Amino acid sequence: MDNRKKKKSKNDRPAGVHTPRHISFDEVAVPQVNEPMPVCSICGKSIETIADAISEADGSFSHFDCVIAKIREQEKVSENETVSYIGHGNFAVLYKDEDGKYVIKTRIPYESKESYDAMKKYVEGTKI
Ligand SMILES: [Zn+2]
């Protein structure tokens, strides 16, 4: 026999008793960023992740995405082409061939070896 089924559910709960909901947000420990925040030479906003930045010939930095957008404009990249970073300071305009493979159409050396090395040192120096 199950008496619980006969129990009145109406007004069953004592009135006025609410479980206190204590919502506490754990304080998120944000690691202190001590590295200087360079400003993007293209969009003028600060670069928060230096590893995602590209060094310019004059020693300034730009957002990766900003450089891609700039190259897209400069190279008049069409819709079936794409701009991609191919490493060692080089970007390239790529297009898909008949097999759907990306082929380099134009290679765009962007970072000079000197600025690339300086950048690497800079990044390594900030990773303490
Ligand atoms: Zn930018």
pLDDT digits (tens, 9 = 90+) for 7-56: 555 555 555 555 556 655 555 565 555 566 789 999 999 998 878 888 88
Would 27 be classed as within a structural domain?
Answer: no
Tell me, in angstroms, the distance from the centre of ligand 1 to residue 13's CA: 59
Domain hosting residue 102, numbered range: 35-126
Would 76 be classed as within a structural domain?
Answer: yes
Would 90 be classed as within a structural domain?
Answer: yes
Would 26 be classed as within a structural domain?
Answer: no
Instruction: Determine the Cα–Cα distance for residues 66 and 8; give it in Å rounded to an integer.
Output: 67
Task: State the pLDDT at residue 121.
Answer: 76
User: 75 in helix, strand or coil?
Assistant: coil
Would 3 be classed as within a structural domain?
Answer: no
DSSP 31: P
Would 2 be classed as within a structural domain?
Answer: no
11 in Cβ contact with 84 (< 8 Å):
no
Say how many domains are in the chain: 1
Tell me, in angstroms, the distance from the centre of ligand 1 to residue 92's CA: 19
Would 63 be classed as within a structural domain?
Answer: yes
Tell me, in angstroms, the distance from the centre of ligand 1 to residue 46's CA: 8
Please state the pTM of the whole predicted model: 0.59
Would 24 be classed as within a structural domain?
Answer: no
